[in-house]
Amino acid sequence: MLAAVDPADPPWWWLRRAEREALGLGATVERTDEGFVFGPRGGLRVEVTARRDDAPVKLGSAALRLWGGAVDGPGGALLASVARALVARRARGFDPTTVRLDERALDETQASTSARAEPAIVDVPSTCERACAFCHVSAKPFEERVARGDDAQVLAAIERVTEGELLLTGDDALSHPRIEALVGAARRRGLSVSIIGPPRLGRTARLAPGLARAGLSRWQTAIFGADAASHDALAGRVGAFEALEEATAAMRAAGVAVELVTPLVAPLLASLTGLQARARALVGAPSSLLAYAPDSMVGDRFDRLVPGHGALREALAALAPADASFADALPLCVLPAALRPSAERKLGRTDDALTAVWPAASCRGCVERARCPGVPTTVARAVGVEGLVTLRVG
């Protein structure tokens, strides 16, 4: 079996990690004689192979086959969902030999529950030019923003990472004047290097080729809407969407993988479907959805942005399965049923004061209580517990 890291520039027929998770296929990928099969052994799996007459689904030069079940019932529904995801970006050609992946063996349990080991995180001294509506940085005027730390501290932190993935972050990591050198220092240690942060119009696109040469493998950034007006309104800066489009195209052209993320704040729930369509147009995959929970340090300043549990459930239910891909944890009763088996069990935050609660009224008799991540305390404060429901057998 293969380590589930997507190729840097996946072909149209490749089922992306986020899509696999949304469809309940988990992290596992295995090479076959004629293609690849996605999903853990022992469950339903989908093979993408060259076009063949006996395949139940044909997509131009490719085809889909089901492993581990019949093509009626759940198996047929899974094939249909995979087909919808691939048809949206279908192109010419199918050549599995173009895909090169890390073929280290995965533990079976690890393969079915974990897509990627947690990266080491290093903050890059930087100041952000934006004022995202949900971010604590927006509370401080630009002229009062000060970068934290220095290059020596960053290089020392990189030296302490011995293997795996390194994520360079900070208020605006890409704006650091020596960001290429920092990426290069990490890559020379054999690390897989990623950056998360907003793009700047003109600057980020110009940096892309140099970052690729230095060894950057992946860039993560946010998308807040399907168009400039909605994105810029949440980003707090006119031109933010133009910068996103420009930088995304430049990064991909340079060979850097781009992953879009979207915090599930109340103002964008109504536009999630359009947002995911725009994300696919930009990078060929949906945005990864992040649970929104205000940090404990900001008090109730951003409580108005926390969506109610019922509104969140309704918005997620309206998405196509392949577009409901999560990089974070939500209460299981808020998720569509098909997504619960592969859901995260813990909200990933560095804020130690941000804990979870399981309200007795909805959670005491819930069959999923033991593996549910619960409700973050700041979310419970902001919107209460209305809309949470008790999940029962059947």
Q: What is the mean pLDDT of residues 52-72?
A: 85
pLDDT level of residue 323 (50, 70, 90 thresholds):
confident
Residue-wise pLDDT tens digits, 329-356: 899 999 988 788 777 777 777 677 788 8
pLDDT at 41: 65
- Contact yes or no for 292/268 (Cβ under 8 A): no
- Contact yes or no for 24/1 (Cβ under 8 A): no
Residue-wise pLDDT tens digits, 210-230: 999 999 999 999 999 999 999
Query: Token match 């290097």: residue?
Result: 193
Query: Token match 């995965």: residue?
Result: 106
Q: Residue 325 above 80 pLDDT?
A: no
Query: Token match 């029962």: residue?
Result: 392
* pTM of full prediction above 0.75: no
- Contact yes or no for 127/42 (Cβ under 8 A): no
How far apart are the C-alpha atoms of 233 and 241, rounded to whole Å? 10
Residue-wise pLDDT tens digits, 378-389: 999 999 999 999
Q: What is the mean pLDDT of residues 10-21?
A: 86
CA distances from 297 to 66, 139, 140, 262 (A): 49, 12, 14, 21
Q: What is the dihedral of CA 340, 289, 89, 317, to 10 degrees?
A: 50
Helix (H, G, I), strand (E, B) or coil at 218: strand
pLDDT level of residue 394 (50, 70, 90 thresholds):
low
pLDDT at 132: 87
pLDDT at 263: 93
Q: State the amino acid at position 26 in one-letter form.
A: G
Residue-wise DSSP of 303-323: GGGSPPHHHHHHHHHTS-GGG
pLDDT at 327: 60
Residue-wise pLDDT tens digits, 83-97: 988 988 888 899 988
pLDDT level of residue 271 (50, 70, 90 thresholds):
very high
For residue 27, what are the contacts with CB-CB under 8 A and spacing of at least 6?
A: 4, 17, 20, 21, 40, 106, 110, 111, 112, 113, 114, 115, 116
CA distances from 31 to 4, 66, 97, 120, 129 (A): 12, 15, 10, 29, 45
Residue-wise DSSP of 150-179: -HHHHHHHHHT--SSEEEEESSSGGGSTTH
Residue-wise pLDDT tens digits, 130-188: 888 888 777 778 777 778 788 898 899 999 888 888 999 988 999 999 999 999 999 99
Reported as half-sphere exposure (CB side, CA atoms, 13 A), residue 63 has a value of 13
Quick one: how many helices (H) and strands (E) in the chain? 12, 13
